[in-house]
Structure 1
Amino acid sequence: MKKKAVALLLCVSMMMTLNACGKTNKDNTQGTETVAETETEVIPSSADITYDAGDYVSLGDYMNMEVTLDKDYQVTDDMVKNYVNNNVIANYPYYVESDKTVVENGDVANIDYEGLLDGEAFDGGTAQDYDLEIGSGSFIDGFEDGLIGAEVGKETDLNLTFPEDYGNSDLAGKEVVFKVTVNAIKEKQDITYDTLTDEYVTYLSDKLGASYETVNDLTSDIRTYLEEQANSSRTQAIRSAVIAKLPEVCTVNALPDGLLDARMQEYLKKFEDTYCKDTTLEDYLSSTYNTTVDDFKTQVQSEIETELDTQLILEAIAAVENIEFDEDGFNSYVSSLLSSYGYDSEDALYENYAQTAEDGKAYLQTIYLCNKALDRVIENTNVTYNAAEESTEEAAAAEDITETEAATEE
């Protein structure tokens, strides 16, 4: 079963990194049988269960931990080169105008076009200054072939029919007319990172509305972007490694009475409300993930137990280190979550983590405090990097990045 289903509600911010936490030696008195019994019991909200984390956790030497990452997250020249080739040039090929006046197969035609359905322009059917490679199959059947023989500066009408299986149901199978004007015929220039020119960079800037003027402008900005991404990945990798290490030096001996059951109930209720509005949980899990309710609950319980282990350890650390909750910091934390995940309001955010906004806020306040404790631990952790195992991974990493922010930021 795909774990993303279980991850729907379990984690936020640092809790999203719990996928590698180790097991603890706790007295697990709330096993699967107890969880099954919750279907008929009235269980309190997890926010209403009070406890002192120190009563359940034996803390070890958490301030002198060592973790090793499998790479050092340095941005290399090869990574910049691969990004330019695979993300910039591949998406923005270099076309220069030719002196040709009649379109042939294989040409790049710069066109303005307007699509009409029953005489009216339809959404998505109009563009100006569009570079279309004739024969690429980018447009519906007949569009590109219909431009072969078209002359620069003249309008051509294309009477076409959208495929029956076209993605837009308003256009599928419909007869339309495209009015197309060929502005110029261009030739595609062979260019790579090694042959970048200031002329291409200026061309790219015009396309993007950017302000690059030289090759150095472009490559420096891309390097900065890649370094920002690498630093973010390094930070997240350290957090994950530290969270995974904590159970090796700290032991959760038991969970507070009722806490596991309450979290299970809250998760399952929210899951069903989100995914099972028109079906049963059993049918949804079977058709979507090919799993049973019992197997699903077993996985959910395992994930929640892991989350609770880490939460209790960090709550205990916060108490020992006198790390206190601060309203201003929490408000900033909530604002960042609202911005990152697109919630309409604070209540909508809170309700994603509990049955009520009040309980959800209480949960996020706990997670915020845990994050502060985690930050304190990370500050005192010795991080080393196993660069020997990187080999070609860093060079290949740039190929996996599909965003083009570096080329679009001014």
Structure 2
Amino acid sequence: MKKFMTAVTAVSLSAMMLAGCGKTDVQETTVQESATAETEAATETESETKVYPDEAYLDGINLGDFVELGDYKGVDVTVTRAEVTDEMVDQYIQSVLDSNKNKEEVDRAVKDGDVVDIKYVGKKDGVEFDNGSSDSYELTIGSNTFIDGFEDGVIGMKKDETKDLNLTFPEDYNNTDLAGADVVFTVTVNHVYEETDAVLDDAFVAARNIDGVSTVEEYRQYVYDNLMSSAKSQQETELERNVLEAVTANATFKETPEEMVSRYYDRLVKNLTTTASMYGIDLETFMAYSYGLAADEYEDELQKSAQSAAEQILVMQAIAEKEGLTLTDEELQADLESSASEYGYDSVDAYQEAVGDLRGYKEYLMSEKVTKYLVENANVTETEASTEETTEETTEAETETTTETATEAE
């Protein structure tokens, strides 16, 4: 639950840029170039089928009807110190070594721990079942990737040998058509590989193909720099979140526009659904696997997050008006021109068309100005990270970081 609440709070912090067809949509479309047409089509469909009332945006709201500011300048907040230890560097490097073990083809029978390339065909009652066949699948024996008995059945086989494995799917298997069913897998071994641990030396580092990094010493510094960059980014996000939460807590709310909350909720659901689809699963499955939450539980948390986002944007707009931080037409135009160039659009008009309704976009740009102002004027105290937090941050850094991550994936 803590993991989900942290993630959902971060989303609610930036929910103003998810409103309408905001800047995040354009960034995601640009990064995922292969999905550009699909994303834009979905955006157009949404704008055609769902039009929010004017009061759902700040330019149609009388702030005095909704919020009264409390203290917002000089609020006291704590933030976790950005830190990278030798142990964290070692853990990251070890994970890279574990992911790049040496693999050599051998001419012998398969044994536990080997990697085998296999062809298999699964049949139930003599008929092939969906997703039960492959011409080439690389399997580590002992990984328990397949149902009980499959990997044990491959042990002892040799290259080009074919064998029928009579197996039974578990009673609680997620595919009800196969749950408890007796099946036959016809398996052919294409290749047998033996793995040995990779060794951190200059040759291993050179094989990573990282610009300017060719020695172990340079590689350790490279890993440190990237982990520190990730730690600072996380610290910045934490600081912004904590400042906004403190300022919002000091404000008094008379009510919150329901249409605005609904707009943020819909956008959060849409973005999480998009993320789930990247893994080939639906939103309910994604939330269950990632956060251990059932549909009613995560819907409740997303509703709270949308409420929090609406309250924060109202507070920030009120501060913007009081401190003269409102967005000017010149600033809006400058950002549109800069972003159009950065994201590779042919013209500002083309970029603006992709963005869609500028009201949500303007909310995001205003929130950037106000957040920066609040952070600059906050009283910030750094605290040491707990062991649990350090481990989580290291893991996140390993999955989020670097050019190397992309290189390893390739």
What TM-score do you get using the length of structure 2 for normalisation? 0.58
Provide the aligned length of Structure 1 versus Structure 2. 334
**Structure ID, larger Rg:** 1
Given residue 394 of structure 2, which amino acid in structure 1 is its aligned partner?
A
Given residue 319 of structure 2, which amino acid in structure 1 is its aligned partner?
I
Equivalent residue for 2:310? 304
CA pair 170-336 structure 1, distance change in 2 beyond 3 A: farther
C-alpha distance after superposition, 1:275-321 (max 9, x if no partner): 9xxxxxxxxxxx8436999x998996566335422332234324489
**Distance (whole Å) between structure 1 residues aligned to residue 268 and residue 178 of structure 2:** 36
Q: CA RMSD in A?
A: 5.5
Unaligned residue ranges in structure 1 (runs of 5+):
17-41, 276-286, 339-344, 350-356
Equivalent residue for 1:408? 405
Alignment of 1:14-33 (within 5 A): none
**Distance (whole Å) between structure 1 residues aligned to residue 265 and residue 76 of structure 2:** 35
- Which deviates further from its counterpart, 76-85 or 117-126? 117-126
C-alpha distance after superposition, 1:330-350 (max 9, x if no partner): 566699999xxxxxx97787x
Asked whether the equivalents of residues 76 and 395 of structure 1 are also in contact (C-alpha less than 8 Å), the reply is: no
**Distance (whole Å) between structure 1 residues aligned to residue 400 and residue 304 of structure 2:** 41
Tell me the percent identity.
Answer: 21
CA pair 290-408 structure 1, distance change in 2 beyond 3 A: closer
Deviation for aligned residue 1:374:
2.3
Asked whether the equivalents of residues 105 and 148 of structure 1 are also in contact (C-alpha less than 8 Å), the reply is: yes
Equivalent residue for 2:56? 46
Equivalent residue for 2:216? 215
Structure 1 position 182 matched with structure 2 position 191: yes
Alignment of 1:98-247 (within 5 A): 101-103=107-109, 105-109=111-115, 111-116=116-121, 125-127=134-136, 130=138, 132-151=139-158, 154-160=159-165, 164=169, 175-184=184-193, 186=194, 188-189=196-197, 196-198=200-202, 200-201=204-205, 205=208, 213-246=214-247
CA pair 68-161 structure 1, distance change in 2 beyond 3 A: same
What TM-score do you get using the length of structure 1 for normalisation? 0.58
SS of match in other structure, 2:157: coil
Given residue 45 of structure 1, which amino acid in structure 2 is its aligned partner?
E
Asked whether the equivalents of residues 311 and 367 of structure 1 are also in contact (C-alpha less than 8 Å), the reply is: no
Equivalent residue for 1:390? 385
CA pair 77-177 structure 1, distance change in 2 beyond 3 A: same
SS of match in other structure, 1:149: coil
Given residue 90 of structure 2, which amino acid in structure 1 is its aligned partner?
K
**Distance (whole Å) between structure 2 residues aligned to residue 230 and residue 317 of structure 1:** 31
**Distance (whole Å) between structure 2 residues aligned to residue 253 and residue 138 of structure 1:** 54
**Distance (whole Å) between structure 2 residues aligned to residue 265 and residue 182 of structure 1:** 55
Unaligned residue ranges in structure 2 (runs of 5+):
19-51, 273-293, 345-350
**Distance (whole Å) between structure 2 residues aligned to residue 390 and residue 8 of structure 1:** 19
Higher fraction of helix = 2
Asked whether the equivalents of residues 333 and 368 of structure 1 are also in contact (C-alpha less than 8 Å), the reply is: no
CA pair 182-121 structure 1, distance change in 2 beyond 3 A: farther
Given residue 105 of structure 1, which amino acid in structure 2 is its aligned partner?
K
SS of match in other structure, 1:113: strand
C-alpha distance after superposition, 1:209-264 (max 9, x if no partner): 8787543354333223212211211221221233234458xx75776xx8634435
CA pair 108-160 structure 1, distance change in 2 beyond 3 A: same
**Distance (whole Å) between structure 1 residues aligned to residue 304 and residue 192 of structure 2:** 63
Equivalent residue for 2:289? none
C-alpha distance after superposition, 1:27-73 (max 9, x if no partner): xxxxxxxxxxxxxxx976333625477997668683xx264534320
